[in-house]
Amino acid sequence: MLGELLQNHRIILASASPRRQQFFTEMGIPFEVHKLAVEEIHPGHLQGKEISDYLAKLKALPFKGKLLANDILITSDTVVWHKDTSLAKPGDEQEALEMLRTLSDDWHQVITSVCFTTPLDQKTVSQSTRVRFRELKDAEIRYYIDHYRPFDKAGGYGIQEWIGLVGIEEIQGSYSNVVGLPTHLVYETLMAMVG
């Protein structure tokens, strides 16, 4: 349905994430992947949704002046927000271990912002989902890190992986958002843009 409406548009997904690409495929959205490098640094005073909004827009900046009339560029960023702190992608095993220890037996927020950019306009939407881990044993955390190497994931984990299957007790909100893309918001926003 949406795919037909997008026939005269080129959707550019600026993400190397296989999970986001899979969601686009499953939603029937034709897309091309083009990612231009940008240093993902945000001002220190930003909090929660402000961080993911800022970084989603920042990822669109390298495309400025390069988009054609019917192009829709989609950039996004996911933040794990816990105790007023953003847990980014862990740099190594020790950081991943510390992140999962702090998330153990507690709630946190997963916030994903998606930015839609055309040559004439830009719109950013975001979704927040609450996630609760049961108490995780160190042996479980180490097993997960050793076998899944979650260094490309905010907060040091993927909900769709082993640690999510055995460790997450409850989520409040969108599951796909925790995987990395609030699919219903992407669909609704694109429908509003081209429908």
Q: Enumerate the active-site residues.
A: 77
DSSP-H helix ranges across the chain: 2-5, 18-26, 49-58, 93-103, 138-148, 162-167, 175-179, 183-194
CA triple 159-37-183, angle to 5 deg? 35
End-to-end alpha carbon distance in the chain: 10
> Residue 114: beta bridge partners?
76, 125
In angstroms, what is the C-alpha Rg of the chain? 17
Say if residue 3 is exposed, middle or buried (CB neighbours under 10 Å; 0-12, 13-18, 19+): exposed
Both tokens of 194, joined, read 């081209």
- What is the torsion angle, in degrees rounded to the nearest 10, for the CA atoms of residue 62, residue 95, residue 174 and residue 114? -10
